[in-house]
Amino acid sequence: MVNNIDWSTLGFHYTETDCIVRAACHDGVWEEPYATKNKYLHLHVSATALQYGQEAFEGLKAFRGVDGKVRIFRWQENAKRMAESAKGLYMTPVPVELFGKAIRLALEKNIKYLPPYGTGATLYFRPLLIGTTPRLGVGPGTDFEFIVIPSPIGPYYPGRFHCTTFIVNRHVDRAAPFGTGQFKVGGNYASSFRATEPAHAMGMDCLFLDAKQHKYIDECSAANFIGIKGDEYLTPRSSAILPSITNKSLMTLAKDMGLKVTRRKILLSELSEMQEAAACGTACVISPIDKVVDPDNGITYNISSEPGPVLTELYNALQDIQYGRTKDKHHWCEII
């Protein structure tokens, strides 16, 4: 373990570790992943990642369990989602096995950066896929680099299981209905900054609506939206949102708890009928939403000033699996 890191005050910030893992691909053939201390790329200035945004990434975590064992949560899902993002941007997908090998190697080489149990911190992995072919004419390249960047992190929202206020923005869209919203690609995030940065400056986060009608909830800035209405777990169905692995897991746990799980278009105005709402994702796990501000219509939807009982139960159920405090009956964790 590293002595100069205060695990309990770590935020969602990059902390340098010993090694990253890299693998290159040329004309459809992937090389074996290797660990290196070199965190810099020797990249051509005309690489398709730089010129045309041919880039995709992922985010997943390893946890130190209550039993001292190390668990990587659902990395296969991240591998599959990255393959979808790659296909969406005409990149050669990273084979699932290679993805897993690279994550395990990154963990093994940086095991001293895995935060101890009980600190709330985890070891986060940021897999990255970039186009490296030099090109001037618009089009995809044929050479790629896959990189796994590890970093110990604390909670995404300070205060761990605390409420966050969201604000709606009808003047900036995150992704078009048939654009790249369902892929985890850098361009979606760069195009969101015009909405997320002003929201952050006001102490809030941004809730994106469907880009066509601005009527339905799409997703939170870097997380899916979930709402609790009676005994129903509601989450948006939209072609423009990222299929969250946390949301997928919570839907399973919600069914286990006897809740009705519904994925459908959700009107913004339905917020007034919800007892609980939250953003969910790998980084924040579940971040309850206390209110949503709609400045265009002068409306504030007050949801719940405290984290509600259903979301609290779901949060605990998921974290119990990730930290090995309960049986992993869905086989979501790989124990290393």
Ligand X SMILES: Cc1ncc(COP(=O)(O)O)c(C=O)c1O
* Smaller CB separation from ligand X, 132 or 146: 146
Q: Does residue 184 have an active-site annotation?
A: yes
- Under rule CB under 6 A, residue 187 binds ligand X: no
Strands 122-131 and 60-64: antiparallel
Q: Which stretch binds ligand X (CB under 6 A): 84-92, 106-114, 241-249, 286-294?
A: 241-249
* Smaller CB separation from ligand X, 207 or 223: 223
* Smaller CB separation from ligand X, 229 or 248: 248
Kindly name the residue from 61, 109, 184, 291 that is annotated as catalytic: 184
Distance from C-alpha of 242 to C-alpha of 94, rounded to nearest angstrom: 19
Q: Which stretch binds ligand X (CB under 6 A): 165-173, 238-246, 263-271, 293-301?
A: 238-246
Tokens of 100: 């897993």
Q: Which of residues 265-284 bind ligand X (CB under 6 A)?
A: 281-282
- Could you count the other beta carbons within 10 Å of the beta carbon of residue 229? 17
Largest CA distance in the chain: 56
Write phi, then psi, for 90 (nearest 5 degrees): 55, 45
Q: Is 171 exposed, middle or buried (0-12, 13-18, 19+ CB in 10 A)?
A: exposed
* Smaller CB separation from ligand X, 19 or 279: 279
- Under rule CB under 6 A, residue 182 binds ligand X: no
Among 244, 287, 304, 322, binds ligand X (CB under 6 A): 244
Minimum CB separation of residue 244 from ligand X in Å reads 3
Q: Which stretch binds ligand X (CB under 6 A): 63-71, 90-98, 244-252, 314-322?
A: 244-252
Q: Which of residues 22-61 bind ligand X (CB under 6 A)?
A: 59
Q: Which of residues 55-74 bind ligand X (CB under 6 A)?
A: 59
Strands 34-36 and 29-30: unpaired
- Under rule CB under 6 A, residue 242 binds ligand X: yes
Distance from C-alpha of 10 to C-alpha of 14, rounded to nearest angstrom: 10
Q: What is the DSSP string of 210-226?
A: PTTTS-BEEEETTBEEE
Identify any residues that bridge with 149 across adjacent strands, giving them in sequence order: 126
* Smaller CB separation from ligand X, 145 or 219: 219
* Smaller CB separation from ligand X, 101 or 126: 126
User: SS3 for 294-319, per residue?
Assistant: ECCCCEEEECCCCCCHHHHHHHHHHH
User: x/- site string to ligand X, residues 217 to 236, per CB under 6 A?
Assistant: --x--xxx------------
Q: Where are the alpha helices (DSSP H) in the chain?
A: 48-52, 75-88, 96-109, 186-201, 245-256, 309-322
Minimum CB separation of residue 197 from ligand X in Å reads 15
Place of tokens 């490296």: 132
Active site residues: 184
Q: Can you give the binding site for ligand X, defined by CB under 6 A? A: 59, 219, 222-224, 242, 244-247, 281-282
